[in-house]
A and B are shown apart, each in its own frame.
Chain A
Amino acid sequence: MSPPSLPVQPPNGPNPDSRPPLKAQKEMTKAERRELQEKQRAAKAAAKTAGTSQPNQKPATKQPPVPIGSTGAPKKGGRPADPAPPRTPMLPAGRQPRDAKLVSTLAETGPMNARGLRIFSHFGLPKPVSLAKGDIHPVILRLALQFSDFKITGANARCIATLTAFKTVIQDYITPPNTTLSRHLMTHLSPQISHLVAARPMSVTMGNAIRQLKLEISGSDIDLPEQDAKNALCQKIDNYVRDRIMVADQVIEETAGSKIKDGDIILTYARSSVVEKVLLGAHSEGRRFSVIVVDSRPMLEGKRLLSVLTEADIQCSYLLLPALGSVITEVSMVLVGAHSIHSNGSVYSRAGTALVAMLAKQHSVPVVVCCETYKFSEGVQLDSFTKNELAPLGDKFASFPLTKPREALMLVNGPNLEILNPLYDLTPPTSISAVVTEVGVIPPNSISSIPLALGRLL
């Protein structure tokens, strides 16, 4: 079913502040005009309830700049300062996604097929990166494109890429007259951050790093000449990356590597940069073990890990997630990474990790999560629905086997059919045996004591 076409509209959706050109209105019949009015009224109501605001391409507009979403559904625990990503409401099946006309057609198709589940409605669909306002730095533009195309994936990689981009932005920044760097720089960075968030929802690592950056900016000395202040900030960013990520990874590599003994069979899921380092490190230390790489759609990241490991001459097996039950009895340890970890010890990680951890626990196989402390997220998430992200539809990651003809697969939504590809899930602390951080190996329930140990440096 195609959405009914509406008369002249701006490409980014009905702008509540503007009206369709009067010429069109005069040409329409009375009935058509009334119909148009109804549609606009419904669109306004839908826009209000759905709480979306499309990224606005018109430079001279009264609307606030690039989406500061105000959706009803909670997005992340405890980061009110950062703009929440905009969310298109998940529409009942049969709609074409990421179209500006979505909002207006929502009201029309609401009653029909309303049983298209609303419990998934807050997931929202990833949107294509819109044309940005003029103020966005080209480095940020490039980064946003890389994010939305999933060229850079993984919590650590995204954070490092973001911070590196910000260094360039800071160096290119010139303080306008009548204001100081410490006050204005953050306002300058906000739209850049929003643009990145519009490309792909912010990861916890990015959020923590940006919060730290804001702290540094507001604390920077007013009397410093501009270039020195900028250099100091870039130095702080480098230190953050070095201390919280690079060095932390090295410590985790050694600690977790010491848990691997000769003859072990290690199982890992998808691709974690930390686990990759641990395995390579342990192998270079001379330990002889074999690895089982378990992989799954939608991203099939395990293949990259597989090629890295085989290049290092590590004995590997590769299988897909449903086959896990056949091999779990032979595994000595499960090593997984995390996107973030919550104060109750639940691990927010790539979708499928929860299944791996659950099955391993049932077969008494220890599950070890490798996670740096900067991935800690305040607050407690109860299930995988509170916060999640959907991968774009279709065969973006070329993850379907070539042996399967494309006509046999459902790659787009159809009538009564909706395709969901959640990218993350939540592993409860009961399935986890231990968490390896740079401050030590801790049981999952003790996560909340770590910030205290670090002097509240989250």
Chain B
Amino acid sequence: MAPEASTSTSHRSVEVLVSKLRRRQVVGSREAALETVKVLRQVVSRAKFSNIDQLVGLIRSIGKRLVDAQPKEHTVGNTVRKILHHIREEYNTATKGTATVGSSSRAVFSIANFVLQGQPRKHTVAQRSEVTTSIRENDPDDPDSFAKTLKPVLMEAIQDVLDELETVYDNVSKNAKDHIHSDEIILTIGHSKTVEAFLKSAAHYHSYTVIVAETSPSYSGHEMARNLSSAGISTFLVPDSSIYAIMSRVNKVILGAHAILANGGMFAITGSLLASSAARVHSVPIVVCAGQFKITPLWNLYHEFGALDFADPSSVLGFEEGVLVEREVEVLNPYYDYVSPEMVDVFITNDGDHPPSSIYRLIKETYDDEDHEL
């Protein structure tokens, strides 16, 4: 029920992003999140609405279209949820709580409410606008007044989200030097920019060694090894087959995540399950570095196939090797692994360090219940 309040220009930008997502032209979860924020910022700045429900409905419908375009890219949905959460918060502050928005869930007696009641609000929203008392909704004489008074506040909130996304790497690496010490041997797999920033930041204070596993068939480990070694960190590049062999010498395993699930588990690049299992066997702590925008209100109880995303099988068994095989062979190239919460020791996010058992609380604080299903 998108109101006709959306102008044709913002529609176009949404269409562009939808098609980019569908064609997987947006590479990387952070990129997807940034694009989403920019599009939503444009939408909100151009939107015409006379009450909050219209705006929320508009954003929800746009969010639904974006998520449907690429359901595997969870950060898109997370960003939409975060913006909705901020919008509702700003609105509540602006109206001093006289009007409650979408609060049907509050009436439900659920453990979610217990959690919320016990928590002091982490971010007290500063009073931004002075004209709080004069917000009138659904004013027939001046339909734009509501929107006009609220928009600056909303734009600032969205800008907050954008800033947070842009400073993810710096914030995650803030305490890197406390996590990594001198002469430690760190194992990592694949190429995660968050982990790379984390390791480079720690290298300013201590000298240590990193072992990077190649992570076939994408071989993203090579890129990681190149970046780390050119930053002056002494690096070893090993194939995935030797992860168990070297694990007895490794002090910590640091992984990146694609998405962090509500139960504290995560989707990560294939090979993460092997590395974390081997680390568990050798009692090596497992650290996951990810931005907070990756925390998803999703559960994965039944699928071992991670996000059920498969990549091109020709990197596993090339088409030129078809002569090798006489009859049909099934070639698998799953892109993600599901790592259960028992495997992970700590999530290091731009919001602080959290054990997997408190991810559900983060979700409660960052997103609103009614947005879990867009």
Contact = CB atoms under 8 A, between A and B. Distances in A.
A341 interface: no
A324 interface: yes
Contact of A410 (B217, B225, B242, B270): B225
Contacts of A119: 249
B196 interface: no
Contacts of A385: 245, 248-249
Contacts of A421: 238-239, 242
B30 interface: no
Contacts of B334: 323, 326
B245 to A, nearest CB: 4
Contacts of B229: 93, 414-417
Contacts of A401: 217, 314-316, 318
Contacts of A458: none
B329 interface: yes
Contacts of A418: 234-237
Contact of B245 (A117, A297, A354): A354
A383 B305 CA distance: 31
A394 interface: no
Interface stretch (B2-10, B31-39, B103-111, B208-216): B208-216
B312 interface: yes
Contact of B305 (A326, A352, A409): A326
Interface in B324-347: 324-327, 329-334, 337-338
Interface residues of B, number: 64
A350 B222 contact: no
A315 to B, nearest CB: 8
**Residue from A307, A322, A421 having most chain B Cβ neighbours under 10 A:** A322
A425 B325 contact: no
A402 B337 CA distance: 24
Interface string B244-257: 11101100000000
A322 B245 contact: no
A31 interface: no
B317 interface: yes
B359 interface: no
A317 B234 contact: no
B138 to A, nearest CB: 53
B234 A409 contact: no
B245 A425 contact: yes
A410 B329 contact: no
A311 interface: yes
Interface string B199-230: 00000000101000011110100110110111
Interface residues of A, number: 61
A358 B278 contact: yes
A322 B236 contact: no
B230 to A, nearest CB: 8
**Residue from A119, A318, A326, A385 having most chain B Cβ neighbours under 10 A:** A326
A384 B270 contact: no
**Residue from A117, A319, A421, A425 having most chain B Cβ neighbours under 10 A:** A319
B366 interface: no
A329 B302 CA distance: 12
B142 interface: no
Given A116-B234, A408-B219, A416-B229, A358 B281 contact: yes
A404 B281 CA distance: 33
A322 B270 contact: yes
Contact of A384 (B207, B248, B269, B304): B248
A76 to B, nearest CB: 17
A325 B234 contact: no
A102 to B, nearest CB: 19
Contacts of B217: 320, 401
A351 B337 contact: no
**Residue from B185, B219, B241 having most chain A Cβ neighbours under 10 A:** B241
Contacts of A402: 318, 320
Interface in A283-327: 296-298, 303, 306-307, 310-311, 313, 316-327
B245 A384 contact: yes
Given A317-B329, A358-B281, A306 B234 contact: no
A318 B236 contact: no
A325 B326 contact: no
A409 B225 CA distance: 10
Nearest to A384: B245
A62 B239 CA distance: 42
A307 to B, nearest CB: 4
B243 interface: yes
Contacts of B321: 303
A422 B249 contact: no
Interface in B259-310: 269-271, 273-274, 277-278, 281, 304-306
B240 interface: yes
A298 B239 contact: yes
A434 interface: no
Contact of B234 (A115, A403, A408): A115
A78 to B, nearest CB: 22
A319 B331 contact: yes
B326 A311 contact: yes
B329 A316 contact: yes
Contacts of A47: none
B216 A329 contact: no
B232 interface: yes
B216 A322 contact: yes
B67 interface: no
B333 A323 contact: yes
A401 B246 CA distance: 25
A354 B243 CA distance: 9
Nearest to B317: A318
B317 A422 contact: no
A400 B237 CA distance: 15
B14 interface: no
B233 interface: yes
B234 A113 contact: yes
Contacts of A355: 240-241, 243-244, 274, 277-278
Given A115-B234, A325-B337, A385-B249, 11 more contacts: A120-B236, A297-B240, A307-B326, A359-B274, A401-B314, A416-B234, A417-B226, A417-B236, A418-B235, A421-B242, A425-B245
7 shortest interchain CB distances as A-B pairs: A352-B241, A322-B271, A384-B245, A417-B229, A425-B245, A325-B273, A354-B244
Interface of A: 93, 113, 115-117, 119-120, 296-298, 303, 306-307, 310-311, 313, 316-327, 329, 350-352, 354-355, 358-359, 362, 383-385, 388, 400-404, 408-410, 414-422, 424-426
9 contacts: A93-B235, A115-B234, A303-B317, A322-B271, A354-B278, A417-B236, A418-B235, A420-B237, A420-B242
